[in-house]
Structure formats: structure tokens, C-alpha cells
Amino acid sequence: MTARFIHLRVHTEFSLSDGLVRIKPLISAIFGSGIPAVAVTDQSNLCALVTFYSGAMGAGIKPVCGADLWVENPADKYAPSRLILLCMVENDSYGLLSGIAEEDETFFHESHKDSYALT
């Protein structure tokens, strides 16, 4: 029986602030559990994209790529919001990657240097 639960917010070792999960063991665990898909949403980057995508596809798991971002709050600069962005189709990852790269110079404050302003 295939599992009906899909993890949509997994931070890997490429998530610099809080990543712990390694990609190969993640793929093995997902495959062993019969879960058909998994999303990797590292913090403010897509560094795991190629390794994750190729590993998941090789194991017959649908890879869902995304990013976990801090978004500036104009009303309170010390209370940012978190936003999970998931790519719907393969080409979306390129748009997400370029968006993250373009906003790389937008900082929130010392503890959240990976915050983005949405315009």
C-alpha cells in the first residue's frame, strides 16, 4: 500500500541554518516507506536541487523542489514571515533560482540575512 502522506518541507544539509537531513538517506527512507514524492525546501537556496532531483528520479520518487524563505514585514521589520515556494513544473526551478539570486542583497537584520522583500 502506498503512503498517502508526502513531506512538503524537508531541509537538507544544504539548508545552512537548520539542515540535518542528508539526501541519499532521505531518498532511501522515502523509497522504503513507499512514499511517492517528497519536497526539499532548503532555507533560501536551491543548492541541493541537482543531487536531490537526480537521486529521487533514479529511485522512482517524484521530486518536488522549492525553497523556504523569510519575507520582510513592512509593518514590523523584526517580525518576518516565512514563505514556502514550491515549483509546479521543471522550468519553475529556474525562475525560483533566479529570484533567490536577484534578492540575495536584500537583508532583514543580523539574525535573518536571508529575508526577501516581495514586490
Mean pLDDT of 15-31: 92
- CATH, domain 23-116, list 3.90.1170.30, 3.40.30.10, 3.20.20.140, 3.10.180.10: 3.20.20.140
pLDDT tens by residue, 38-85: 999 998 888 898 999 999 999 999 999 898 988 888 899 899 998 898
What average pLDDT does range 89-117 have in this prediction?
55
**Mean pLDDT, rounded, of the chain:** 81
What residue segments make up the domains of the chain, in order of their start?
23-116
Q: Give yes or no for a contact between 85 and 67, defined as CB atoms under 8 angstroms apart.
A: yes
With a pLDDT cut of 70, the percent of the chain lying above it is: 71
